[in-house]
Structure 1
Amino acid sequence: MIVIGAAILGVLIGALTARRRGGRLADILQYAAGYGIAFTLLGLFATIVIERLAA
């Protein structure tokens, strides 16, 4: 659940960042993908750490 939430949050932040910087559609999509991947990985690591600590 953390991974999905982090992915969605990353996509939103990436798209908003590119839009604020005046990017075109391709820029917005690229930022959204990049931030989405980065946040997904962070969410995955957070999930692994939480599972290890809970066990």
Structure 2
Amino acid sequence: MPGGMIVIACLFLGAAIGWVRAARQGGKLADKLQYAAAHAMALAVLGIFLTIILSRMG
């Protein structure tokens, strides 16, 4: 799996997790969008680190 694909997958996964968490807490649309954005950015950063680690390992 190329490095960019890992980051994109983490981005979408984070957005989905954030959306679901806000929905479970009874959040409105703005809350869901904010949670989705925050989680997407956090997991994208983790995806970047994962990509760097995997590329250095071989």
What's the TM-score once normalised by structure 1's chain length?
0.96
Superposition CA RMSD, Å: 0.3
Q: Which ranges in structure 1 are unaligned for 5 or more consecutive residues?
A: none
Q: 1:35 corresponds to which letter in structure 2?
A: H
Q: Which ranges in structure 2 are unaligned for 5 or more consecutive residues?
A: none
Which residue pairs with 2:38 in the alignment?
34
Q: Distance in 2 between matches of 1:21 and 1:43?
A: 26
Deviation per residue, 1:4-35 (Å, 9 max, x gap) = 00000000000000000000000000000000
Aligned length: 54
1:10 aligns with 2:10: no
1:52 aligns with 2:45: no
What's the TM-score once normalised by structure 2's chain length?
0.92
Q: Distance in 2 between matches of 1:4 and 1:16?
A: 19
- Amino-acid identity (%): 50
